[in-house]
Structure 1
Amino acid sequence: MSNKGLSNDESYLEKFIWTIKKQQTEEAFYVLDLVHVINLLDTWKRNLPIVQPFFAVKCNPHPDFLATLVAHGSSFDCASRSEIESILALGVSPDRIIYANPCKASSHIKYAAEVGVNLTTFDSVDEIYKIQKLHPDCSLLLRIKAPDESGCMWPTGSKFGALPEEVSPLLQAVQTAGLKVAGVSFHIGSKSHNSQAYKTAIEAAKAVFQEADRLCMPPMHVLNIGGGFVSNALCFEAAAAAVKNAVDEYFSEDERRSLTVMAEPGRFFAETPFTVVTNIIGKRVRGEVRQYWINEGFYGSMMRVDSTTLAESCISLKCMSNNSNGPVLMVCGNGTGGSRTYSSTVFGPTCDPIDKVLEGHQLPELEVNDWLVFRNMGAYTSSCSSNFNGFGSAKTTYLIN
């Protein structure tokens, strides 16, 4: 078919799905664009050269994705023994790993000590005691609660982060335990669109540096600004500018010379390189409403993806089989280009009624074995999926190099 009128993304997807269709697969699958991963790394370096990214492995542990990050110099934020093992298996040096979980199982702390992962976070006295006993050579970052979590989709402050009144007692407890606090960490919440939240959090972090000085502790030298970054160009540029301006404002030139600034981005690198392609396995018509079932859903790749993102990212691909050369795939307009659309509900494959992907979404008339494609599906998708009802998330991943 002609590509006239298609966007570059849609044309690319059409050609790719045609290749897959020739292989006669009807299973849901992922597409991973490794070139896009490299471009995102370049974007980070260009906008935030002062900040070393430690990719949050929990966001997406796909081995080819991680290997690309490794090859281009990324470091890693691990939250468990299993994540540490997976990163070490890729040949990453332990000094490129932060054990960024403020509350760790004792056996996991012992493992970190055994393999030489010597930087971790804490926000409680009990964590200090565990580290003193099991990994006394570990350097610590005091995780504080970010003062402003407005503008994020998933706040973290209700679970992690020391309150301002807890900072001094925690620093004194570290002194008593004979451990070393290397610096401060925070997290403004996942998928944040409030760039100024970094400014207020960096200001709060500087107050911890000053309190450590008041307590005559060894000088701190690490500022961990956490995650929350999104890959939208304008949002990321605003966040990068806020971070750089705040570091310049709250840390003197002499302090900045010895300051290591790190971050724990997950979504920024993982979300947009992945596309999930789903097959329509069922259909029901009720008047003017169309209901479809696809072979991926809430309990698979879509548990942590909001409905707005799913609706905005959806592309429909119609399969035309009355062709002597085999099936032809057409990218449908989803409400654009003048084609008739219907209010549509899209369900996932399980028997749970909450397994609903889209509702009231305008789609063209589709049939069983047509396809729905969802872009920007790499953040907390496969890593959060389950096998509920005997269905898992898409397993096969096709790489675009």
Structure 2
Amino acid sequence: MNEKQITKALAKARSLLSMESPGLPSGELKAYVQKYFDWAKEHKAMIEQEVPPFYLLDTTALRERAQQFKSAFSSVLQDTGFYFAVKSNSHPDVARTLLGCGFGLDVSSGVELEMALALKAEKIVFSGPGKTHKELTLAAENHKTVTVLMDSFRELENLEKIAADKGVKISAGVRLTTMPKGLWKKFGILLQDLSRFFRAAEACHHVQLKGLQFHTSWNMSPEAQIKFIRKIGRAASGLSEKHRKQIDFIDIGGGYWPEQGEWLTGEGTPEGVLRKALGMDSGSAKRHFRLPSNPIETFAESISQAIQKNWAGLLPCRVCFEPGRWVCNDAMHLILSVVDKKGNDLVITDAGTNTIGWERYETDYCPVLNLSRPSLKEKKCFILGSLCTPHDVWGKTYFGDRIEPCDFLVIPCQGAYTYSLRQEFIKPLPRVIKI
């Protein structure tokens, strides 16, 4: 770096160190903790008769979330479709429950597609880049229930050849990249190439191009989705009338963040990351932070208004959604027990963070609840797993009167991108109990 760049970087660092991320209100945190203490009390007898660690899948909560999501969008849009993003939680009972709620399944691998077919799902969208010949063949063989969301011109060619060899016609859409620079450009085709893609599809007599798909991630508000809805509207004006009439559906993906927002430790905030890099203290373990998120009803209202305003030339068409995290996050909880107490400031649990797949709680915050000695008092204590690594952290505080060996703990709301990412690293994986 030259002197000018160093000066600019130091100014940014100074600004970052002086900033303060929004705190998590203590009243909101205690209400959340009380909610899950009450939930645990309701299921106390069942929990205590099982041997921890285990995941607890709450199918009632899952159905309630699914219904809330569907109602939010169905109340403001005339024709809708809903597909659960299997990657967010790949347990078959999650998908099976959501099929019973009228959802289809959004799969992004041959393994997920095989599971969806085994569950007799009647509506499946197959998304994701780099689909193999074997995966596309499986999709073509099940063309009555599978719609392939193609990711490139080459995938269109491959799918056409496979479908022709099978003597079938398969429904398809094409994914549009929302960020043409950086790592996200791996997904889909450029919006400017949409007309050319439609023309290429005309020569493919076994692939029926019927729709468009896009996806923005980590949506705390509908802003990114609305921006791309506008871009699609402008791009559609450049399509021929024939091609516009081909569009039966537009799938606007998932990425909706639950309304509680993103909860962080001090180390997870932008200023905390810099402080850690500089060897500075990240602050009290009892200080928690929250990046706010909008209610799903706000997403629905804003997105529907943007669609009505920008897609006049494309309507009526079905608008599809692929929620994952929003639907399943609150429906699975992890039950642990304390196996060792090394002092009032450190305990070891029977399960390690291999059960959630990564060192999530060094930066994310989730309250640890002592079900055996419940209290709304938060106490400092390292709650660490039993893996042979120091990066095996559940939290630096807990809610309870005190904590002792054999106490039952719950890590609530572990339904999204935890079970699916679990790995058999050192310790075996917990089983799943459905209620």
Alignment of 1:380-399 (within 5 A): 380-392=417-429, 394-399=430-435
Q: Contact 1:148–1:188 (CA<8 Å) still a contact in 2?
A: no
Alignment of 1:4-83 (within 5 A): 7-21=34-48, 23=49, 25-49=50-74, 50=77, 51-83=80-112
Q: Does 1:246 align with 2:271?
A: no
Q: Give 1:9 shift.
A: 3.1
Q: Give 1:130 shift.
A: 1.1
Q: Does 1:368 align with 2:424?
A: no
Q: Does 1:262 align with 2:284?
A: no
Aligned pair count reads 361
Alignment of 1:113-262 (within 5 A): 113-116=140-143, 117-135=145-163, 137-146=169-178, 157-178=184-205, 179-189=207-217, 191-213=218-240, 219-232=246-259, 234-252=294-312, 255-257=314-316, 259-262=317-320
Residues 218 and 180 from structure 1, CA distance in 2 versus in 1: closer, same or farther, beyond 3 angstroms? farther
Q: Contact 2:216–2:253 (CA<8 Å) still a contact in 1?
A: yes
Name the amino acid aligned to 1:261. Answer: V
Residues 37 and 163 from structure 1, CA distance in 2 versus in 1: closer, same or farther, beyond 3 angstroms? same
Q: Give 1:127 shift.
A: 1.2
Q: Give 1:244 shift.
A: 0.6
Q: Give 1:80 shift.
A: 2.1
Aligned counterparts of 1:172 and 1:148: Cα–Cα separation in 2: 22
Name the amino acid aligned to 1:297. Answer: G
Q: Contact 1:226–1:265 (CA<8 Å) still a contact in 2?
A: yes
Aligned counterparts of 1:227 and 1:71: Cα–Cα separation in 2: 20
Name 2:382's counterpart in structure 1.
345
Percent same amino acid at aligned positions?
22
User: What are the superposed Cα offsets for residues 6-35 of structure 1, whole Å, 9 maximum, x if unpaired?
Assistant: 8343122134234332x2x44211222222
Q: Give 1:82 shift.
A: 2.3
Residues 19 and 140 from structure 1, CA distance in 2 versus in 1: closer, same or farther, beyond 3 angstroms? closer
User: What are the superposed Cα offsets for residues 217-264 of structure 1, whole Å, 9 maximum, x if unpaired?
Assistant: 753121100001234284312211121111111122x7423x011111
Q: Contact 2:252–2:319 (CA<8 Å) still a contact in 1?
A: yes
Residues 29 and 350 from structure 1, CA distance in 2 versus in 1: closer, same or farther, beyond 3 angstroms? same
Q: Give 1:64 shift.
A: 2.7
SS in 1 for 2:348: strand
Name 1:297's counterpart in structure 2.
352
Name 2:116's counterpart in structure 1.
87
Residues 214 and 368 from structure 1, CA distance in 2 versus in 1: closer, same or farther, beyond 3 angstroms? same
> How large is the Cα RMSD of the aligned pairs?
2.9
TM-score by length of 2: 0.75
Aligned counterparts of 1:195 and 1:115: Cα–Cα separation in 2: 34
Q: Contact 1:147–1:204 (CA<8 Å) still a contact in 2?
A: no
Name 1:331's counterpart in structure 2.
374
Aligned counterparts of 2:96 and 2:319: Cα–Cα separation in 1: 23
Name the amino acid aligned to 1:76. Answer: L
> Which blocks of at least 5 consecutive residues in structure 2 are unaligned?
1-30, 261-293
SS in 2 for 1:396: strand
Name 1:324's counterpart in structure 2.
none
User: What are the superposed Cα offsets for residues 330-357 of structure 1, whole Å, 9 maximum, x if unpaired?
Assistant: 213242xxxxx22x22222211222222
Q: Contact 2:236–2:314 (CA<8 Å) still a contact in 1?
A: no
Q: Contact 1:300–1:385 (CA<8 Å) still a contact in 2?
A: yes
Q: Contact 2:233–2:310 (CA<8 Å) still a contact in 1?
A: yes
> Which blocks of at least 5 consecutive residues in structure 1 are unaligned?
150-154, 318-328, 336-340
Aligned counterparts of 2:180 and 2:64: Cα–Cα separation in 1: 30
> Among 312, 315, 319, which residue is 2:369 paired with?
315
SS in 2 for 1:271: helix
